[in-house]
Structure 1
Amino acid sequence: MDYTIIDAHAHLWLRQDTEVNEQKIQTLDNGKSLFMGEIRQMLPPFMIDGRNTAEIFLSNMDYARVSAAVITQEYIDGLQNDYLWEVQHKYPDRFLCCGMVDVRKKGYLEHARALIEKGFKGIKLPANRFSLPGGRIFLTADEMMQMFKLMEEKGVFLSIDLEEGTSQVGEMKEIIGECPDLKIAVGHFGMVTYPDWQEQIKLARNKNVMIESGGITWLFNDEFYPFKGAVWAIREAASLVGMDKLMWGSDYPRTITAITYRMSYDFVLKSDLLDEEEKRKFLRSNAEKFYGFTDLVSLPYIKNMSE
């Protein structure tokens, strides 16, 4: 491997303490969390204090030779804007951190404006959480469209995870039509293991829309490593929109409760279904261009004691 790698979808938090649909998510111990009525292994068990910090991730990144990562957010982790702003300033050459607004509460347009003025280069929306007990939040609501136009004007990218299937695809098409210069990264590889996932992928036929694969190993967890179905899905997506439109993402740290961080990409490296240039685009150059990464660090290979 003679090229550096960029992770287009990862998470950091100091502590989970929030609610989604009136259900509690809260950090416990030994990597566990209370998650919507049950205890789940949210982190690897050696992360005993539940703190999913930049420093622990950097150790994983250095070992796996991942040069940089885009840090997204999710409502199940709570808003982490203050911590991520600290991370952005402390490690500007390794992380590109997204701010997040809570569209379930009034005034999120002004919150987005404040985050942009502070200096966040991306805003994350977990739109897969927009179906609420009181009704669905529409991506095309007036305040939402004002936010997207502000982001387009300020050159701030949108990182977004959609509900499985096509329920939000029409709304995304309207947003793309109204804000053609808004840069958009659609996460979770279009929820690839659900019906009609290809319709989310086809959004990348628009010039400023990309697809990232954060969570693809979770979605193919039943198949498990080396995730041949995931590679075939990458191959199919490339046939729909071109390999130039696809980016690798890990969905760290939740995915490494099942596999190591390095395993979340080396199934791509070891596959014979993709050639070297396709691997290079997927693992680095597409994200480098889309997010504007420069001066990526080159990380040496460190031999394992087991070798």
Structure 2
Amino acid sequence: MEYTIIDAHAHLWLRQDTVVDGLPVRTLENGRSFFLNEVRQMLPPFMIDGKNTAEVFLSNMDYAQVSAAVITQEYIDGIQNDYLSEVASRYPDRFLVCGMCEFRKPGFLNQAKELISKGFKAIKIPAQRLLLKDGRVMLNSEEMMQLFHLMEEHNIILSIDLADGAEQVPEMEEIIQECPHLKIAIGHFGMVTRPDWKEQILLARHPNVMVESGGITWLFNDEFYPFKGAVKAIREAADLVGMEKLMWGSDYPRTITAITYKMSYDFLVKSSELTENEKHLFLGENAKKFYGFGVLPTLPYIKNMSE
């Protein structure tokens, strides 16, 4: 069975050089980065220059037959707006890119206006990073609500990762009530391995809200492939809100330090816990409709030398 596959959660950057919670994130060599207080394998070791480029990702996408991807952002990678604007310009049929503002301090509304004027179709908020030591940035603050009304007016998609559990869910409920036409994608499958994860999933009961599974193989890394716990969680989420509200995401490239890119979805293709129709919806059809992708390339299967 052939599927239209769209990755709803991936990352690109040229170099990591930033600070999060007062601690550095710096690109090293051989795919490693100094991450907060230790050296971590941020990329596969063959990406020796530390560059996580669109071209390398496209090679992975073509091999894995992934037609398109949503490029999100996170503060641990630094703000990548300039590079992602170039990526969107070069590969408009393969990537939808999210802009990101400096939401950790006031003044982000004007930044968002600039991103919208430059043609960004989505904005990312790594909301789990807003629980700052010197004061929490509330998602329902006055400036945030102005931002969400602006995005709703201009049909800009909100991509957002929430803190573990239900901590930010009441704020999201207020945003959804205030902006019923704001399209929202909840990331990391509600931080599925943490307590109260289903409270985030239940946000997708609202018509304008979807949930994507970026990072689900990371969250179930301890059990590893074929990630039976992840399949079970997807089944549970579908029972709560319907499979038409869920989308596949990989969290590329960090997750492919442990598995290949194709493995980040083929455990679902091979699962008997999902119907063929559910697989089609989850792996690409839902994302195609939600993000508004147009005609997608047909990618042939290339036989491996080991076959």
TM-score category (smaller protein): over 0.9
Distance 2:80 2:256 in 1: 20
Give the match for residue 281 of structure 2.
281
Letter in 1 for 2:139: L
Distance 1:19 1:2 in 2: 43
Give the match for residue 228 of structure 2.
228
Letter in 2 for 1:283: L
Letter in 2 for 1:298: T
Q: How many residues align?
A: 307
Letter in 2 for 1:158: L
Distance 2:293 2:240 in 1: 26
Q: CA RMSD in A?
A: 0.5
TM-superposed deviation, 1:106: 2.6
TM-superposed deviation, 1:105: 2.7
Q: Following superposition of structure 1 onto structure 2, how do residues 288-303 of structure 1 map, counting pairs within 5 Å?
A: 288-303=288-303
Give the match for residue 117 of structure 1.
117
Give the match for residue 168 of structure 2.
168
TM-superposed deviation, 1:4: 1.9
TM-superposed deviation, 1:2: 1.7
Distance 1:16 1:118 in 2: 23
Normalized against structure 2, the TM-score is what? 0.99
Letter in 2 for 1:260: T
Distance 2:103 2:67 in 1: 32
Deviations 1:38-58 (A, max 9, x none): 000000000001000000000
What is the percent sequence identity of the aligned residues? 72
Distance 1:144 1:27 in 2: 31
Letter in 1 for 2:167: S
Give the match for residue 35 of structure 2.
35
Give the match for residue 256 of structure 1.
256
Letter in 2 for 1:90: R
TM-superposed deviation, 1:279: 0.1
TM-superposed deviation, 1:235: 0.2
Letter in 2 for 1:193: T
Letter in 1 for 2:19: E
Q: Does 1:49 align with 2:52?
A: no
Distance 1:168 1:132 in 2: 14
Unaligned runs of 5+ in 2: none
Give the match for residue 80 of structure 1.
80
Distance 1:274 1:3 in 2: 14
Q: Does 1:102 align with 2:107?
A: no
Normalized against structure 1, the TM-score is what? 0.99
Deviations 1:4-37 (A, max 9, x none): 2000000000000000010000000000000001
Letter in 2 for 1:56: V
Q: Following superposition of structure 1 onto structure 2, how do residues 183-202 of structure 1 map, counting pairs within 5 Å?
A: 183-202=183-202
Distance 1:255 1:4 in 2: 21
Deviations 1:208-255 (A, max 9, x none): 000000000000000100000000000000000000000000000000
Distance 1:46 1:183 in 2: 37
Give the match for residue 13 of structure 2.
13
Q: Secondary structure at the match of 1:124?
A: strand
Distance 1:189 1:103 in 2: 22
Distance 2:271 2:45 in 1: 30
TM-superposed deviation, 1:200: 0.2
Unaligned runs of 5+ in 1: none
Q: Secondary structure at the match of 1:159?
A: strand
Distance 1:35 1:110 in 2: 30
Distance 2:232 2:2 in 1: 24
Q: Secondary structure at the match of 1:160?
A: strand
Give the match for residue 211 of structure 1.
211
Distance 1:239 1:147 in 2: 33
Letter in 1 for 2:296: L
Give the match for residue 25 of structure 1.
25
Distance 1:68 1:116 in 2: 22
Give the match for residue 266 of structure 1.
266
Flag as ranges the 4+ runs of structure 1 deviating above 6 A.
none
Q: Secondary structure at the match of 1:285?
A: helix
